């Protein structure tokens, strides 16, 4: 448990960076998956899952 307390401030620092990188990741994702045909629903599901994850992380840290 003390380790978790040490990591919490680091998580606070990294959270805004993660928010900034998220849109960039979405822009680069189609290029990374070049050659693979991905449906739009896949992106929607991924986006919703990430949004949910960030909402949970934000809720935990406030």
Specify the residue for token string 């998220």: 22
More confident residue, 34 or 53: 53
Q: Is the pLDDT of residue 62 over 70?
A: no
Q: What digits encode the pLDDT tens for the residues 8-43?
A: 777 777 777 777 777 777 777 766 666 555 566 777
Exposure string over 32-55, b if 16+ CB within 10 A, otherwise e: eeeeeeeeeeeeeeeeeeeeeeee
What's the pLDDT at 56? Answer: 77
pLDDT, mean of residues 54-58: 77
């Amino acid at each position: 448990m003390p380790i978790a307390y040490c990591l919490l401030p680091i998580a606070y620092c990294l959270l805004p960076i993660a928010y900034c990188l998220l849109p960039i990741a979405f822009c680069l994702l189609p290029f990374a998956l070049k050659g693979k045909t991905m449906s739009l629903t896949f992106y929607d599901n991924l986006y919703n899952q990430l949004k949910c994850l960030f909402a949970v992380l934000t809720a935990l840290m406030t």
